[in-house]
Amino acid sequence: ATEGPCNTPKPGVFDLISKAKWDAWNALGSLPKETARQNYVDLVSSLSSSLKSSGQLEPGADGTPPGYETLVVTSEDGITKITLNRPTKKNAMNTQMYHEITLALEAASKDNSSITVLTGSGDYYSSGNDLTNFTDIPSGGVEEKAKNSAILLRNFVGCFIDFPKPLIAVVNGPAVGIAVTTLGLFDAVYSTDRATFHTPFSHLGLSPEGCSSYTFPKIMSPSKAAEMLIFGKKLTAREACTQGLVTEVFPDGTFQKEVWTRLKAYAKLPANAMRISKEVIRNKEKEKLHAVNAEECSVLQERWLSDECMNAVVSFLSRKAKL
Ligand SMILES: CCCCCC/C=C/C(=O)SCCNC(=O)CCNC(=O)[C@H](O)C(C)(C)COP(=O)(O)OP(=O)(O)OC[C@H]1O[C@@H](n2cnc3c(N)ncnc32)[C@H](O)[C@@H]1OP(=O)(O)O
């Protein structure tokens, strides 16, 4: 687009990057500069429209924060509260919600609140991955779907790993799948005694994500982690607290009042000190967590294509199976 056809000498065989670029340029033959420029503009325009259709949000024209379809985000008393807001679907995480949580966390990491809270609306914290996510197959088929999902999941979990401020889960009801596994990446988890914690990966032909293959054995011991992650044992809130996954359990009747009183007090602590303490506690683990996240996503990419997984999704969608 800037120089026209490729007229420079071919780079040496060991200069792999320059050679790949040269080959791509040379393959365009005598394409005129103006056409190349137009092709480039067309490509970028198509990418930006596919980002919009994939649910990524753009700030308003005046730079105001984006509106969310699947979340309610508020900020007061030094606390940014991100509420999963698909109560009729038990706050199941659809593709839009994964994107929006990522955006909301990025925004919260830069706003002037001192702590960030994730919670659910209605009677569930979240029923985990929306199983209808697997029905929206792109033109590249199930392989492309699995690849895109692995990228989405890796970015999503990566945001939790890198989140710089204290991140607190207010678990207002049952939690399933990825809503449970990511709890290992929070700084505190407060739960109603009505909540349960369930990771039915084997039932769904899946494998652990959210870095739980690493965090759960560390938090609760390898065999307790195996009961949850391999055998799908559902824990009560009190059991999850005994195992160290939950920080504290509150009676459902007083849960919201007690938790928010405490969080408002925590939010008054010096914000920089809290951020630096988190950094000191978490930084040693970050590299490891990113490596675990990458491995879990690549294993899942294969699992999503397995008969075991496909049959489990079909069973759920045809109303034959529930947890
Ligand atoms: C980018 C991809 C990343 C993937 C990451 C990997 C993540 C893995 C996981 O999270 S595994 C866990 C997946 N979750 C489930 O298997 C839960 C499935 N849901 C259920 O078993 C039940 O719905 C329930 C036990 C959570 C609740 O049962 P009940 O109280 O009887 O309510 P309903 O079943 O009537 O639910 C109401 C309404 O919500 C829909 N719904 C609930 N959960 C999900 C879900 N996870 N996916 C899709 N839809 C869900 C349910 O179908 C009902 O819809 P309807 O009113 O019938 O339209």
Query: What ipTM did this prediction achieve?
Result: 0.99
Residues 85 and 126 in one domain: yes
For residue 3, what pLDDT is reported? 85
Residues with pLDDT less than 50, the chain: 46-56, 60, 62-64
How many structural domains comprise the chain?
2
Q: What amino acid is encoded at 74 in this protein?
A: T
Q: E-strand spans in 49-156? A: 71-76, 79-84, 115-120
CA of 74 to the centre of ligand 1 (A): 26
Q: β-strand 175-176 against 196-198: which pairing, if any?
A: parallel
> Quick count: other Cβ atoms within 10 Å of Cβ 49?
10
Query: CATH number for the domain including 264?
Result: 3.90.226.10
For residue 42, what pLDDT is reported? 60
For residue 53, what pLDDT is reported? 44
For residue 168, what pLDDT is reported? 98
**Does a structural domain hold residue 323?**
no
CA of 215 to the centre of ligand 1 (A): 24
Q: What amino acid is encoded at 56 in this protein?
A: Q
Which residues 6+ apart lie within 8 Å of 219 measured at CB?
Answer: 184, 225, 243, 244, 245
CA of 188 to the centre of ligand 1 (A): 25
Alpha carbon distance 307, 235 (integer Å) = 28
Question: Which residue's alpha carbon is at the smallest distance from atom 40 of ligand 1?
Answer: 89
Question: Which residue's alpha carbon is at the smallest distance from atom 12 of ligand 1?
Answer: 177
Residue 26, domain extent: 1-46
Burial class (CB within 10 angstroms; exposed 0-12, middle 13-18, buried 19+) of 126 = buried
**Does a structural domain hold residue 117?**
yes
**Ligand 1 pocket at CB < 6 A:** 89-90, 92, 98, 127-133, 149, 152-153, 176-178, 204, 206, 209, 316, 322-323
For residue 21, what pLDDT is reported? 82
Residue closest to 236 by CA, chosen among 196, 198, 200: 196
CA of 240 to the centre of ligand 1 (A): 21
Residues 114 and 191 in one domain: yes
**Does a structural domain hold residue 191?**
yes
Q: What amino acid is encoded at 135 in this protein?
A: T
Half-sphere exposure of 18 (CA within 13 A, CB side): 8
Question: Which contiguous run of DSSP H or E holds residue 18?
Answer: helix 16-26
Residues 88 and 3 in one domain: no
Residues 30 and 109 in one domain: no
Residues 34 and 95 in one domain: no
**Does a structural domain hold residue 61?**
no
Q: β-strand 71-76 against 79-84: which pairing, if any?
A: antiparallel
Residues 132 and 230 in one domain: yes
CA of 48 to the centre of ligand 1 (A): 31
Residue closest to 72 by CA, chosen among 100, 48, 93, 102: 100
pLDDT per residue over 208-243, tens digit each?
A: 999 999 999 999 999 999 999 999 999 999 999 999
Residues in the chain: 323
Residues 107 and 187 in one domain: yes
Residues 133 and 79 in one domain: yes
Phi/psi of residue 118, each to 5°? -115, 130
Query: CATH number for the domain including 36?
Result: 1.20.80.10
**Does a structural domain hold residue 65?**
no
**Does a structural domain hold residue 175?**
yes
CA of 92 to the centre of ligand 1 (A): 6
- What region does 177 belong to: left with phi over 0, alpha with psi -120 to 50, or beta? left
**Does a structural domain hold residue 132?**
yes
Residues 112 and 258 in one domain: yes
Q: Which of 29, 46, 63 marks a domain boundary?
A: 46
For residue 46, what pLDDT is reported? 46
Please give the structure tokens belonging to residue 259: 């938790």
Of 54, 70, 127, the one to substitute when testing ligand 1's pocket (max ligand atoms within 8 A of C-beta) is 127
Residues 18 and 165 in one domain: no
Helix, strand or coil, per DSSP, at residue 282: helix
Residues 10 and 123 in one domain: no
CA distances from 145 to 65, 142, 207, 267 (A): 29, 5, 17, 41
Residues 140 and 245 in one domain: yes
